[in-house]
Structure 1
Amino acid sequence: MARSVSHQGQHNRFDLRMALRERRRALNADQQVSAGKGLCEVLKSRPELLACQHIAVYLANDGEINPETLQEYLWQSGKHCYLPVVDQSGSKVLTFVEYHTGTSLVENRFGIPEPSLNGAKTIPPEKLDIVLVPLTGFDEQGRRLGMGGGCYDRTFAFTSIAHKPILIGLAHECQKVDSIPVEHWDIPMAGIATDCQFYQISA
């Protein structure tokens, strides 16, 4: 049964989100580059990635761990990468556009670069094999905290009854906390990868 949202839970999530955003933004450029390389090392031999062809990545923003090194590795491995595009109508449903070196990027209403939809090759979310989801925070039980917009939760709500795509959260190791307060709409991750290790989440 879906539980109601408590004001206390919302308050705790807001405060935690702000604190963890500050924590990741405090990392300097060298630390960010090192974290991105560590993330690639953690993920590139994962069987989930080796077995798939269509992978959603993202362009790092606001101190998020940067999957650029991993994405370059995926391209070199012959994988197809896709970037999310935020729906301009405010529906909070993401569109995924194939991403390659020649992809034209434009700023969305949040000031974040994303592919232009003009003439773009898109893929339905259910056809993706893996989605790499940026996180603001997480705990070892696999509970996650996003940016609060709900776009990934809305777009991939169907994964509660589907086997794919596999959702893997990405974060800096310093974004791990003891416990994340959850809400009924939070979609679970199959695993969480940091610059240090992979946390396999039990179903």
Structure 2
Amino acid sequence: MNAAKQAARSAAILRRDAARAMAAPDAMRRIADHFFRSVPLRPDAAIAGYVAIGSEADPAEILARASANGHVCGLPRVAQKAAPLAFLQWAPGDALAGGAHGTREPLANMPEVRPDIVLVPLLAFDRRGRRIGYGGGYYDRTLAKLRGNGGVVAVGIAFAAQAVDELPEEEFDARLDWIVTESGARAFAAAPSGV
């Protein structure tokens, strides 16, 4: 394992825990507001989110609004270790099952969704769109697959305090297109319009 990444990951866990503890009560609403004001979103775009674990910034408000506006939403499922994630259709109120690594996921009989936008959990992000996750590589493999098959927009969901100046990067790491926090939204590259 890359020692620089492991050190960054350990520091990022503590920083994210502190950020969550200090977050204003309306932080998740503000994250959702910034997402819908800033990230280009076609009316028929499918959005993949996640169920927050521990101190992760929670995208539930984004998914609830997206679903209410007619977007198909999905949540990740670890179908196989060391493979890209599958996204299964989900809407607020749908049942969830226990998944790998302590996650919650849609029931296995739900249809698979091909997302246009993937909301990405993270421990830390930097000014160039790099992110540190838990080290399993699931989102890196997933984004590489989706980008190779017609594109996707990766949107990191985080607290502003999770920002760092510089993160280590390896050749297989997939960068974010956007970061959305309670303080605002930022595109890291020329993000495709109207996704």
Check 1:162–1:116 CA distance in 2 against 1; reply closer, same or farther (3 A cut): closer
1:113 aligned onto 2:104: yes
Alignment counterpart, residue 5 of structure 2, candidates 3, 13, 16 = 13
Superposed, which structure 2 residues align to 1:24-39 within 5 Å? 24-27=16-19, 31=23, 33-39=25-31
TM-score scaled by length of structure 1: 0.84
Aligned to 2:112: 122
Counterparts of 1:47 and 1:135, CA distance in 2? 18
Q: 1:93 aligns with which of 73, 76, 84?
A: 84
Calculate the aligned-residue CA RMSD, in Å.
Answer: 2.1
Q: Is contact 1:32–1:66 with CA below 8 Å preserved after alignment?
A: no
Equivalent residue pairs, number: 190
Counterparts in 2 of 1:38-117, with a 5 A limit?
38-87=30-79, 89-117=80-108
Report % sequence identity: 31
- Which protein has the larger Cα radius of gyration, Structure 1 or Structure 2? 1
Matched, 1:182 2:169: yes
Q: Which residue of 2 aligns with 1:132?
A: 119
Query: Equivalents in 2 of 1:27, 1:202: separation in Å?
Result: 26
- Are 1:35 and 1:66, in contact at CA under 8 Å, matched by a contact in 2? no
Deviation at 1:60, TM superposition (A): 0.7
Task: Give the deviation of 1:28 after TM superposition.
Answer: 5.4
Detail structure 1 runs of 4+ shifted over 4 Å in the superposition. Answer: 27-30, 159-163
Aligned AA (2:82):
S
Q: What's the counterpart of residue 4 of structure 1? A: none
Task: Verify the 8 A CA contact 1:140 1:199 in the aligned structure 2.
Answer: no
Q: Are 1:130 and 1:164, in contact at CA under 8 Å, matched by a contact in 2?
A: no
**C-alpha displacement at 1:15, in angstroms?**
1.5
